[in-house]
Amino acid sequence: MIAIIDYGAGNIRSVSNAIRYLGYRAEITHQADIIRKADAVIFPGVGAAGDTMANLKKLGLDTLIRRLVLEQRPVLGICIGLQVLYSGTEEGGGYACLNIIAGQVKKLPPVLKVPHMGWNQVRQKRTHSLFAGIPDDANFYFVHSYYGQPEDPALILGETEYGVTFGSAIARDNLAAVQFHPEKSGETGLQIYANFFRMAGVRKE
């Protein structure tokens, strides 16, 4: 079973649809016991980083997510679910985040239209199972106004350019996170999920 962490971000349905479409069982939940039992955990996100952190704390999920990562459990962060893994964000006047990945989240420079919305390429910086079968510079669907950059560049799996070059896919041990929305990126996006579940050793239904 795959747990999709529900902290009131909305629009989680498309993530669970994609997982079901691929033949896996997904549970949308904020309950720690269910999340801990899952073979893999999806940490999705849409919306504001400040609200996300507040909701995570309220539900005790901040501690749980840190612990899952420490225990090397398979976790995939998406969009805001990537951004709040960093130390902090300048969104909304500045918030401390989960500090799982050292680095800061900043506003995209105003040289181009913000939000960065649409299909853009991900240049693969190193070989990783998350991108198995996906060509270099494949297009993924992005919607965001902020971007994160890890202090350790070795964590970057893929980079995207939009006024600035940022880490659009990062990974460390069994933790992976992407700024784009795999559940909105057609066949290529579904491949990301399929690769992640294979890495995590999740069995199909």
CB of 98 to another protein, least distance (A): 21
166 phi/psi in degrees, rounded to 5: -130, 160
CB of 3 to another protein, least distance (A): 20
DSSP three-state, residue 48: coil
Residues 79-101 as b or e (16 or more Cβ within 10 Å = b)? bbbbbbbbbbbebeeebebbebb
| Interacting residues with another protein between 116 and 145 (CB under 8 A) | 116-121, 139, 141-143
| Interacting residues with another protein between 18 and 77 (CB under 8 A) | 18, 20-21, 46-48
Check if 181 is active-site.
yes
* Pick 33 or 205: Cβ nearer another protein: 205
Check if 97 is active-site.
no
Task: Among 183, 195, 197, 199, indicate the residue that binds another protein (CB under 8 A).
Answer: 183
* Pick 100 or 197: Cβ nearer another protein: 197
Q: How many CB atoms lie within 10 A of CB 123?
A: 16
Residue 99 interacts with another protein (CB under 8 A): yes or no = no
- Angle at the Cα of 88 (from 141 to 183), degrees rounded to 5? 20
d(CA 1, CA 166): 32
Residue 6 interacts with another protein (CB under 8 A): yes or no = no
Q: What is the CA radius of gyration of the chain?
A: 15
Residue 14 interacts with another protein (CB under 8 A): yes or no = yes
Residue 89 interacts with another protein (CB under 8 A): yes or no = no
* Pick 147 or 155: Cβ nearer another protein: 147
Residues 6+ apart with CB under 8 A from 123: 136, 137, 158, 159, 160
Residue 114 interacts with another protein (CB under 8 A): yes or no = yes
Contact 156, 150 (CB under 8 A): yes
Q: Supply the residues annotated as catalytic.
A: 79, 181, 183
User: Using CB under 8 A as the criterion, which residues of the chain lie in contact with another protein when the complex forms?
Assistant: 10-11, 13-14, 17-18, 20-21, 46-48, 110, 112-121, 139, 141-143, 161-162, 183-187, 189-190
